[in-house]
Amino acid sequence: MQNAPYRSNRGEKAMKNPKALMIPFGYPGYPPEILKKFRDGSRNHLKRLGIDVTATANVIDFADARRIRDQVNTTDCEFVVVVVLSWIEATNVIEVIRDLSHKPILLWSHTMWQEKGEFLTLGPIPGAGVLRQAFEELRYKFKFVYGQPGDKSLDDDIAVFARAAHAYHQLRRTRIGLLGYMSMGMYSAAFDHLGLLRDWGPEVDQLDQYVLVKRLEAVTKTQVAPLIAKAKRDWDITKKVRPRDLEITLKMYLAMKALVKERRWDCLTIKCQYELSKEFGYTPCVPLSMLGNELPCSCEGDIPLIAAQIAMHHITGQIVAYGDIHTVEPNGVIMGACGFAPFKMGEGRPKVDRTETLYQGLANCTIYKEGEITFARMGYTPDRKLKMHVAFGKTHRPRAFHEIGCLPYPSMEVDLPGLGDQFAQGMLSQHYSIVYGDCRAELRELLRLSDIEGVFVE
């Protein structure tokens, strides 16, 4: 089942435009003006879909193939669009793209068109048929689409592929910051470093939480004073929060932000329990809720979780959160994390309170905004291959609940009509990445490009 392409219902800043290299192929003897018209139409179609396109000249013969090959080898692109304008010699195509074959490829074949009541063709589908099979045997990461420029039935397939290819490319430039490691013996938070790097793309840069503590201790009162004033102005802070609580918490945020910049992290996960939450006495919940407005963040050192979060961020360009699955019912789930949610995903002003029972420090107690969400996480098969579990549902304000000994969580109820048990039977852990909107189609395509199993609740 194919889902509609990604649609946001929150209005946050969109992702960067995907970058494509378009290489059109033709054949000697066909009218050059028609080939040029179709080349230009293909480029304009891609641009209309929000894709940044660099287009080469038409490749007609082997001399063209050699020349274009040498031109494009240094082109900075996220994916390649092979446009089959007419019948082609497949060897010319392979000559051009062999050095680019590690990138995702969109194989786009033109089709017949109609003029003056007559259907005309240059034979592109026969040529594309040869290429499609060749690409499969060569194990290229490609998608095959067909239609004329301007055909709107192409739009969704191309747009979904472009966003998935963008994420595929960005994941291979991603650095995950990891402070500490998995919390509280959570086996499902452990990971295979080289397997993640090879199959999904991100590098993991690990430091101990001691580095964070030393950095926050070096932050001066003068440096943190403007943040304290802003927090007092913008947040709803309970009377239990002491001046020192606010100072240490905001120093932690500044220390985290400095580490992100210094280490060039694209996302961050941190082990909170128990070194920070009990030994140090201050949880990272509120600092992460602030930093989560700027880049994907989560806690408890859960790498398969943050690996899903950063992928969903690369697809959508939006803020990404996570939540624990607190209960499963026949028609839905309740999700929430014990003190964390990006403040911008919350309803109204941030609500901050202080806890001392199961852990110590400040917690975000803001309820999530309502909307449609995609939620997912990475995990492993029994033979330690990556897989992803994905669901989609409409959220609404949660019923009143709290974990005994804890403050109210940032939480939501998610409708899964008749699918609650299906979700439960596929759970990969308790933590799931959350993004507003429907990005299932892009995740499905990204997983296919990555040769990773996807389990979709539907």
Q: Which residue ranges make up each domain of the chain?
A: 19-171, 175-456
Neighbours of 359 (CB within 10 A): 21
What's the CA gap between 304 and 378, in Å, rounded? Answer: 5
User: Which residue from 308, 334, 318 is spatially nearest to 395, judged by alpha carbons?
Assistant: 334
- Specify whether domain 175-456 bears CATH 3.40.275.10: yes
pLDDT bracket for residue 356 (50, 70, 90): confident
User: Which residue from 187, 238, 193, 190 is spatially nearest to 365, judged by alpha carbons?
Assistant: 238
Copy the structure tokens of residue 266.
């694209």
At residue 8, the pLDDT reads 58
Cβ pair 178, 205 in contact under 8 A = yes
Using the structure block, give the residue that is written with the tokens 């995990």: 379
The residue-averaged pLDDT of 190-199 equals: 98
Neighbours of 171 (CB within 10 A): 19
pLDDT at 12 over 60: no
At residue 5, the pLDDT reads 65
**88-92, 177-181, 352-356: lowest mean pLDDT where?**
352-356
Q: Which tens digit of pLDDT belongs to each residue from 228-273?
A: 999 999 999 999 999 999 999 999 999 999 999 999 999 999 999 9
pLDDT at 363 over 70: yes
What's the CA gap between 444 and 324, in Å, rounded? Answer: 23
pLDDT at 421 over 50: yes
Copy the structure tokens of residue 275.
């070194």
Neighbours of 133 (CB within 10 A): 11
Using a pLDDT cut of 90, give the percent of the chain over it: 93
The residue-averaged pLDDT of 397-422 equals: 94
Give residues with Cβ within 8 angstroms of 182, minimum separation 6.
189, 190, 271, 300, 301, 302, 303
Give residues with Cβ within 8 angstroms of 220, minimum separation 6.
none
What's the CA gap between 433 and 296, in Å, rounded? Answer: 10
- Using left for φ > 0, alpha for ψ between -120 and 50, and beta otherwise, residue 176 falls in beta
At residue 358, the pLDDT reads 81
What is each CA distance from 66 to 60, 80, 82, 194, in whole angstroms? 11, 17, 16, 36
Average pLDDT score, the chain: 96
pLDDT at 290 over 80: yes
The residue-averaged pLDDT of 288-305 equals: 98
pLDDT at 1 over 80: no
Q: Which tens digit of pLDDT belongs to each residue from 210-225?
A: 999 999 999 999 999 9
The residue-averaged pLDDT of 10-16 equals: 58
DSSP 3-state percent helix, strand, coil across the chain (nearest 5) = 40, 25, 35
Give residues with Cβ within 8 angstroms of 136, minimum separation 6.
none
At residue 402, the pLDDT reads 85
What's the CA gap between 71 and 54, in Å, rounded? Answer: 12
Q: Which tens digit of pLDDT belongs to each residue from 17-36?
A: 999 999 999 999 999 999 99
Cβ pair 381, 453 in contact under 8 A = yes
What's the CA gap between 242 and 274, in Å, rounded? Answer: 22
Instruction: Tell the CATH topology of 19-171.
Output: Rossmann fold (3.40.50)
At residue 11, the pLDDT reads 44
At residue 4, the pLDDT reads 58
Q: Directed axis angle between helix 155-171 and helix 440-450, to 10°?
A: 60
What's the CA gap between 99 and 70, in Å, rounded? Answer: 10
At residue 7, the pLDDT reads 60
pLDDT at 308 over 80: yes
At residue 143, the pLDDT reads 99
Complete DSSP assignment for 219-274: --HHHHHHHHHHHHHHSEE-TT--HHHHHHHHHHHHHHHHHHHHHT-SEEEE--TT
